[in-house]
Amino acid sequence: MRNYIKEIALGFFPVLILFLQFIVGLNMIPLVFFMALVVGLLYVVRSRGNLATIGGERKGKPRAAAPLSFDEIGGQERAKQELVEALDFLVQEERISKFGIRPLKGILLAGPPGTGKTLLAKAAATYTDSVYVAASGSEFVEMYVGVGASRIRDLFKEARQKAAKADKGSAVIFIDEIDVIGGKRDGGQHKEYDQTLNQLLTEMDGIHTTDKPRILLIGATNRKETLDSALLRPGRFDRHITVDLPDKKGRDHILRIHARNKPLHDEVNLGKIAEESFGFSGAQLESVMNESAIYAMREESEAISQRHLSMAIDKVMMGEKTDRESTKEERERVALHELGHAIAAELVRPGSVSQVALSPRGQALGYVRHNPQQDHYLYTQEFLEGQIMIALGGAAAEELFYGGRSTGSRGDFDQAMSIVRSMVESGLTELGIIDGSMMTPDRWATITRSILDEQMDRIKQMLAEHKKVFLHSLDVLVAEETLGGDRFRSLLQNNEAASDEQDQMSMA
């Protein structure tokens, strides 16, 4: 109702002013200037009120952050070690002054989303017994020039005031998504961004190591390459710490941390869940534990089982199950498509299939969850060619049984072409070492077609030799909608054994 009245007023008063000015003949220009002055004053007052709010905290009413130690953060041992070493420059004042070491002014945390950069900043404040003040890069950018720079000044001022009020010797300022205000300056028209960045550089230069309280600025970004070089130089952000996705050991540690307050069944093997969650961030792993507890509560179970955790991985990875209904022909085609991926994966990398599912999740009508035996960070040509074969396995299976493909292979082809691009840029193709930017579209098309056709022929020949596995697994998958990795491998091994017996009998 209030918005409705406001809209009527906004439309009525301009019309009234125009009527009095041009129809009645009254001079309304002084009144218009007066109203504009009042609106401007109201905006200034409101802006000043917003400036008092930094990072969701209002001046005069600081909200203390819950203490967080480094022991409560899992999966980032190397990052924690580097950060603690940098923070010791603040903690061990006498020792660093003896060696003439200058305390650090800024620490940059760079890495993918959900890896724990904010948690590390909070733990840094706890470790150094400092006041913690947080803000996001978007809070400093407005359409009006000068507002962002003013908020930067107020942020540093607030940190010093809070530290003095709390009788602390130091304060930690954390700016999340710092690339919003710290992006590279290109001399364009983004004057507001430039002024905000210039003010941040000035404030960092004004941090003197002998001043009390001392200020440590911690910035976090997902795109370090976009930051301005003036911000990254020594004397400002002195330490650049990469906060990467956790490895298997780190994932296991994170899962155990988030499982402390949850009732787990005795059969639960968190190590296996850590294997199946390759590529997950800390935030995704926390979501896995949370979703598994929701599944257990939904089924009125007393404890969280391994099945609940497996279902939670599928939900976090693919999304919730959908209600889409498909015809029998579509279900069989999808089942054969996914079995093509699964059989290809087992032939290329035995033991890698964790589950084959026919239930729709997100945009996928079916999926295969892989279980890598170990984390990989370097890839050979043979490994990448195997990944292409696995990606093309679904389309190859459709051609094998239906004589043609469907639109369900589109995502597989995108994945395969992305692998080809990585191979070309890494010098793992017949082109040798070459700069990808020098490749013409026609040359890209030629090399991509050559590699994909070669791997498609290979995987079609391999799948044709295991045609009976499709037929035996199809009935199980269509009836039960899911096929566990162990059961799938058993079907594959049984059919291979039966084929060997038939070959021996035919030879005899």
What residues are labeled active site? 338
CA distance 170 to 167: 9
Amino acid type, 81:
Q
* CB of 340 closer than 8 Å to CB of 396: yes
* CB of 359 closer than 8 Å to CB of 321: yes
Tokens 């003095």 -> residue: 164
Strand duo 214-221 + 57-58: pairing: unpaired
Strand duo 214-221 + 106-110: pairing: parallel
3-state secondary structure 390-401: HHHHHHHHHHHH
Residue 183: partners with Cβ closer than 8 Å, 6 or more residues away: 193, 197, 226, 227, 228
How does 201-214 read in b/e, with b if 16+ C-beta sit within 10 Å?
Answer: bebbeebebeeebb
* CB of 356 closer than 8 Å to CB of 483: yes
Crossing angle of the two packed helices 328-348 and 441-464, in degrees rounded to 10: 90
Tokens 């579209």 -> residue: 441
Torsion of CA 162, 164, 165, 170, to 10 degrees: 60
- Indicate the length of the chain as a whole number: 508
Strands (E), 397-437: none
Q: Which of 456, 416, 423, 452 is nearest to 439 (CA)?
A: 423
CA distance 264 to 274: 15
CA distance 388 to 460: 12
* CB of 98 closer than 8 Å to CB of 140: no
CA distance 204 to 308: 49
How many Cβ atoms sit within 10 Å of the Cβ of residue 222?
16
Quote the tokens at residue 498. Answer: 């039966």
CA distance 179 to 224: 7
Question: If 0-12 CB within 10 Å is exposed, 13-18 middle and 19+ buried, where does residue 496 land?
Answer: middle
Quote the tokens at residue 337. Answer: 């498509």
Omega within 30 of 0 (cis) for the link into 263? no
Region at 361 (left for phi over 0; alpha for psi -120 to 50; beta for the rest): beta
